[in-house]
């Protein structure tokens, strides 16, 4: 029996972009569902159960980051790629903070788009396999439950995005060790990640805001000058 094609949900109000995405994805064996606004896409999200979501930032009803947050409130697993003409660092940070896994500026090349899609799907499958039965990691008062995808700090739940969770998992598994930005990129975003390397610093900052008593003077998740980042046993 042939393997069922992976399903991709496309959310964009630009007919030309939708046609381009749909044509190239189908050429590579994907099944696609197209939507021109966020509300219709969200209404059918559970039924379609996509393996990947591609979202435009500017839509008639909801902006891309809003849709990302609403999808993440339902599932932490599906990879999300955001397309946009807004490529300033603040825009990239906002897109990633909302739950997007990757960010591609318009205009884009189809070759790069397909490479990003394949990379996201490989990482997603790898994360799913690695997460099964991984159990619980405890570092001081910080507890990460890999099966339940939950984190507690000093007995209180900590709400993390999927990438924040993955980054924290790597740091906790290497407690006391200094990990370089390159190492963290490879382990969390994958060796074929083609986005901005500053995404590591951005996600570290968000983790500190959620875990440190004084995020500007961190003691739990430290920066090691010119070397990388280290999670300490106590902080």
| pLDDT tens digits along 32-83 | 999 999 999 999 998 898 999 999 998 989 999 999 988 887 766 789 999 9
Hey, how many other C-beta atoms are within 10 angstroms of the C-beta on 122?
Answer: 14
H helices of 38-177, in order, are 38-43, 45-48, 64-72, 89-97, 110-131, 162-173
Angle at 28 (CA atoms; ends 123, 73), nearest 5 degrees: 45
Give all strands of the β-sheet with 228-231 in edge-to-edge order.
Answer: 178-179, 228-231, 221-224
Tokens 């190239």 identify what position? 24
Q: Domain residue spans in the chain?
A: 7-130, 135-231
Any residues with CB less than 8 A from the CB of 144 and at least 6 apart, and which?
136, 137, 138, 150, 151, 165, 168, 169, 172
C-alpha neighbours within 13 Å on the C-beta side of residue 44? 17
Residue 135 has a pLDDT of 73
What confidence score (pLDDT) does residue 193 get? 76
Q: Identify which of 157, 158, 156, 152 has the alpha carbon closest to the alpha carbon of residue 139.
A: 152
Distance CA 195, CA 200 (A): 11
Whole-prediction pTM value?
A: 0.61
DSSP at 111: H
Helix (H, G, I), strand (E, B) or coil at 135: coil
- Does domain 135-231 fall into CATH 1.10.10.10? yes
Both tokens of residue 201? 């610093």
- pLDDT greater than 50 at residue 9: yes
Q: 15: which residues sit within 8 A by CB, 6+ positions away?
A: none
pLDDT in tens, 165-199: 999 999 998 888 999 998 898 888 877 777 778 88
Q: What is the CATH number of domain 7-130?
A: 3.40.50.2300
Structure tokens at 6: 């992976």
- φ, ψ at 106 (rounded to 5°): -85, 150
């Amino acid at each position: 029996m042939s393997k069922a094609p992976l399903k991709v949900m496309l959310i964009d109000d630009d007919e030309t972009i939708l046609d381009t995405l749909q044509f190239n994805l189908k050429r590579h064996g994907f099944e696609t569902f197209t939507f021109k606004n966020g509300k219709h896409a969200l209404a059918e999200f559970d039924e379609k159960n996509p393996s990947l979501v591609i979202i435009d930032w500017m839509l008639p009803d909801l902006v891309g980051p809003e849709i990302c947050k609403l999808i993440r409130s339902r599932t932490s697993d599906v990879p999300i790629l955001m397309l946009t003409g807004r490529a300033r660092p603040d825009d990239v940070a906002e897109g990633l903070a909302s739950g997007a896994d990757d960010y591609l500026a318009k205009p884009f090349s189809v070759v790069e788009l397909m490479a990003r899609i394949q990379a996201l799907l490989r990482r997603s499958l790898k994360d799913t396999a690695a997460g099964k039965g991984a159990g619980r990691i405890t570092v001081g008062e910080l507890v990460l439950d890999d099966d339940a995808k939950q984190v507690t700090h000093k007995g209180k739940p900590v709400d993390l995005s999927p990438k924040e969770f993955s980054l924290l998992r790597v740091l906790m598994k290497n407690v006391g060790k200094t990990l370089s930005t390159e190492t963290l990129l490879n382990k969390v975003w994958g060796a074929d990640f083609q986005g901005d390397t500053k995404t590591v610093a951005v996600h570290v900052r968000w983790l500190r805001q959620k875990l440190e008593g004084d995020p500007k003077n961190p003691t739990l998740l430290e920066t090691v000058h010119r070397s990388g980042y280290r999670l300490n046993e106590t902080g």
